[in-house]
Amino acid sequence: MSEMKLIFAQVNLIYRRLLICLLMFGAGLSSNAWAAHAYSLWGDIKYPAGFKYFDYVNPNAPKGGELVAVSNLRVSTFDKYNPFTIKGTSPAYLSEMLFESLLVGSGDELSTAYGLLANDVSVPADGLSATFRIHPDARFHDGKAVQAADVKYTFDTLNGKFVSPAYRTMLEDVSKVEVLDALTVKFTFKRKNRELPLTVGSLPIFSREWGKNKSFDKVITDIPIGSGRYKIGPVNFGKDITYVRDPNYWGDKLNVNVGSGNFDRITIKIYKDNVARLEGLKAGEFDFMQFYSAGDWARRATGKRFDKGDLTKGVFKHSLPTGFQSYIFNTRLPKLQDVRVRQAIGLAHDFNWMSQRLFYGAYKPVNGLFGNTDCAAVGLPSVDELQFLEPLRKHVPVNVFGNMAGQPNADGKDNLRANLVKARDLLASAGWKVKSGGDGVLRNAKGEAFILEYLDSQESKATTLASWQRNLAKLGIALKLRAVDFALYQQRIDKYEYDMISINFPGTNNPGIEYMDLFGAKSADIESSGNYSGVKNQAVDALIERMINAQSKAELIPACRAFERVIAHSHIMIPQWYSGQHNVAYNPKKLAKPSIEPKYYKADSWLLSNWWAR
């Protein structure tokens, strides 16, 4: 199988970073005033003030050596050093390497953030503001102190017109940012929103001096001025990049940093495609690679380097949410606006066949948005869920009030034939029929043929589409793969010029305002937003508001379950698959890892943060 994990395109990388931050440490407001070294959603801080280090790190990990790894992006080049602007592509991991945030999450908690650039965070009982005290030792790469004015400048810049609109969506409830003194910054909120203290706490902070006297869209190859442990080193521009340790990094002794950032140099190599990456691994060109292809992992991760012990296969379990990797319909198009049509197309997708023939049993089906979390909906709606759903009944599909939707043909049973019959009937009721004795093509009343184009930047996706194409052909639908180069792919996604695409959405245990960008009506018509499906539904907006405004877990859970039901039964997405483990190949002769794995982590982030060179 070809690689099916679609990382968000460059325009949404920082938005994705915010999602990951929220995943790691949750988001929310306590009912009481808060002033401490950490901030917790439910008040259950694991690590007390003055803790020495996180449990899952090796505090004695040696510093030094070089890591050579491969880019995690689908792009095969880069043309800028600014990861925040919409146009262009920046190198992999640049934001993580160079920029720090006020708060940082731990890898073994879901609902707590600890001070990084800030050593104190205060939230009053009314939840209408958050005040951060910046660490007096915090320094940018140019040696200048990190100040409250830099935080305000960062906020104003990221909320501007040259940056991904996801920021504006996530920050729209921040009414103002005030510099109280050189090291104290206050965010004031328009309303009590459980996410905002940690959303603003996760913003990557940069210096006011970066690209000074330029509009931000003109800050392209100016070397970023962040405060992170690494700086840009040798670069083969457009191809490979090396990050080097800043010898004057200010935060090595912080408890949240102990046992992390152990390499002196981190070189990230870029390849044209997944085949080239795999061959580069086997040739010894780099020492770590994560596998997203079951076929590559099962059959092609072999060769002399594996036999000699220069490479080993590691399987690392995790407790991350499943996320919702899915095919996405563009409901802006007339032919895809009827929910019956979208449901029928989904009924022809046969996960059982793909699991047996393509995936080697390595993947499990995705069903909703919140798998592997307390927010996942199952069975019939609870009484609490119905309290949210009943007032919205006329705006949601009637099936929302029945059993939670599951992925078609993913139950281990051979029910494809019955589902195709059901799909045929749904299409007929929506006005799409195959004429008896005709050419076998599904047509509407105008005689227009139903052609569904799947847009991607990889020809190799043809393998996973083949069975679905055969099944849809039985219904008279022609499913065509439209493979384009990544630059054109990105452009078409930004402008919503597609019938269907595939996206891997990160999961979260604490959904909130980020879902306004993914599913909110306001973002549907904003170019480059995260609302790929174009959904506009007041019930969806109302339930997202319920999630945002929940002040306790008891309020959050039924709200997000009700929201998940509406999205699932609207059939704007066809869920795909996920793995509960990270499959990685690495060189054990060069790389060492801690004995304890964090619970909530991405394999490449764990590598960059906590592994070390032998």
Residue 385 forms part of a structural domain:
yes
Q: What angle do CA 587, 248, 92 make, to 5 degrees?
A: 45
Q: Based on the domain organization, do 55 and 140 belong to the same domain? A: yes
Q: Based on the domain organization, do 82 and 165 belong to the same domain? A: yes
Distance CA 111, CA 369 (A): 19
> Is the separation of the CB atoms in 424 and 348 below 8 Å?
no
Based on the structure, what is the number of domains in the chain?
2
Q: Which two tokens stand for residue 600?
A: 């909530």
Residue 285 forms part of a structural domain:
no
Q: Based on the domain organization, do 262 and 330 belong to the same domain? A: no
Residue 586 forms part of a structural domain:
no
Q: Based on the domain organization, do 189 and 109 belong to the same domain? A: yes
Residue labelled with tokens 């995936």? 359
Distance CA 116, CA 133 (A): 10
Residue 234 forms part of a structural domain:
yes
Q: Based on the domain organization, do 121 and 18 belong to the same domain? A: yes
**Alpha-carbon distances of 154 from 290, 461, 593, rounded to whole Å:** 33, 39, 35
Distance CA 556, CA 310 (A): 48
CATH number at residue 485: 3.10.105.10
Q: Based on the domain organization, do 232 and 353 belong to the same domain? A: no
Q: What is the 3-state secondary structure (H, E, C) of 446-508?
A: CCCECEEEEEECCHHHHHHHHHHHHHHHHCCCEEEEEECCHHHHHHHHHCCCCCEEEECCCCC
Centroid of chain to Cα 605: 13
Q: What pLDDT shows up at residue 438? A: 81
Among 232, 248, 268, give the residue marking a domain's end. Answer: 268
The set of residues, in sequence order, having a beta carbon less than 8 Å from that of 38 and lying 6+ positions away, is 45, 47, 49, 112, 113, 114, 115, 121
Using CA of residue 95, residue 266, residue 489, residue 351, what is the dihedral sign?
Answer: negative
Q: Based on the domain organization, do 485 and 570 belong to the same domain? A: yes
Q: What angle do CA 415, 421, 423 make, to 5 degrees?
A: 100
Provide φ and ψ at 462, rounded to 5°: -55, -30
Residue 452 forms part of a structural domain:
yes
Torsion region of 327: left, alpha or beta (phi above 0 gives left; psi -120 to 50 gives alpha): beta
Which mean pLDDT values do the consecutive 10-residue runs of the chain (614 residues) have? Answer: 31 38 36 69 84 97 96 83 92 95 91 92 91 97 98 96 86 95 97 83 96 94 97 94 97 96 96 89 95 87 95 91 93 97 96 87 88 94 97 96 90 87 97 90 96 87 90 97 90 95 88 91 92 96 93 91 97 91 95 93 93 97
Q: Which two tokens stand for residue 572?
A: 């704007």
Q: What pLDDT shows up at residue 448? A: 96
CATH number at residue 228: 3.40.190.10
> Is the separation of the CB atoms in 388 and 546 below 8 Å?
yes
Q: Based on the domain organization, do 331 and 256 belong to the same domain? A: no
Q: What range does the domain containing 202 cover?
A: 10-268
Q: Based on the domain organization, do 406 and 263 belong to the same domain? A: no
Q: Based on the domain organization, do 573 and 481 belong to the same domain? A: yes
Residue 352 forms part of a structural domain:
yes
> What pTM did the predictor assign?
0.77
3-state secondary structure of 475: coil
Q: What pLDDT shows up at residue 600? A: 86
Residue 320 forms part of a structural domain:
no
Distance CA 540, CA 148 (A): 37
Strand arrangement of the beta sheet that strand 103-105 belongs to: 38-40, 112-115, 103-105
- CA-based nearest residue to 488, from 461, 455, 528: 455
> Is the separation of the CB atoms in 610 and 336 below 8 Å?
no
Q: Based on the domain organization, do 331 and 246 belong to the same domain? A: no
Distance CA 305, CA 300 (A): 12
Q: What pLDDT shows up at residue 390? A: 97
Among 245, 268, 291, give the residue marking a domain's end. Answer: 268
The set of residues, in sequence order, having a beta carbon less than 8 Å from that of 466 and lying 6+ positions away, is none
Q: Based on the domain organization, do 348 and 263 belong to the same domain? A: no
Alpha helices (H) in 183-266, listed in sequence order? 196-201
Q: Which two tokens stand for residue 71?
A: 């880019």
> Is the separation of the CB atoms in 185 and 148 below 8 Å?
yes
Residue type, 260: S
Residue 304 forms part of a structural domain:
no
